[in-house]
Amino acid sequence: MVVAANARYFTYLCKCMSYKKYGDLTHYPPRTTSHFTEAELVQVTPDDVVKYMSFATYDTATPGPNNRPLNWRSDTAEFAKKAISYYMLNSGAWNHQAGYGNPTRSRQVHQFISNLKKQQVRQLGKMSAVKRDLSLAEFNV
C-alpha cells in the first residue's frame, strides 16, 4: 500500500490514475483518496503517462500537429513527471521489451516534454502567467 506522502505530488498521481482507469481527471479526488496499491502502480505505462499529460495539456489524449497547448506549459509537465515518478516503485529507466521500470523515465515522456518546450519557444503554447514589475517605458505610457 502506498500512502500519500506529499500532497502536491499526490494530486498529479491521482489525476494520472483517474485518467488511466476512467478517462477523466476527477474520479480520484486527492483529499479523499488515501492510497494506490503496488499492483495498480506497476501497471502504469509510458503511454498512460503521455496520454494523461496530453489530455491535461491539450484537452485531448491524441493531439494533432495543429493543436496548441491550452492548459500546461513545459514546467508544469516536468513537475507532473517528477510527481508521478515519486510514487513509482521502480527507479530504473523504462525497458520497453520487458515492460518494466519507471514509466516517467521513458523516451516517450521526454519527447512529449521536448515538443511542449519547442511550441513554447515558438510562442505557440500557453502564455506565461508570471507576474513582473513594470518597465520604465510601460510606466511612462
DSSP 61: S
Q: Does residue 139 form part of some domain?
A: no
pLDDT in tens, 21-47: 998 888 888 888 888 999 999 999 999
**What Cα–Cα distance (Å) separates residue 82 from each residue in 19, 42, 85, 138?**
17, 17, 5, 38
Question: Is there a domain that residue 84 lies in?
Answer: yes
Q: Whole-prediction pTM value?
A: 0.83
Task: Classify residue 133: in a domain, yes or no.
Answer: no
Which regions of the chain are under pLDDT 50? 1-4
In a domain, 140, yes or no: no
Cβ atoms of residues 83 and 122 within 8 Å: no
Q: For residue 98, what are the domain limits?
A: 2-15+23-126
Whether residue 121 contacts residue 109, with contact meaning beta carbons closer than 8 Å, is answered with no
- Dist CA 132 CA 113 (whole Å): 26
Evaluate whether residue 102 is within a structural domain: yes
Which pLDDT value is given to residue 1?
A: 44
Within a domain: residue 34? Answer: yes
Position 115 in a domain? yes
103 within domain boundaries: yes
User: What is the total count of domains within the chain?
Assistant: 1
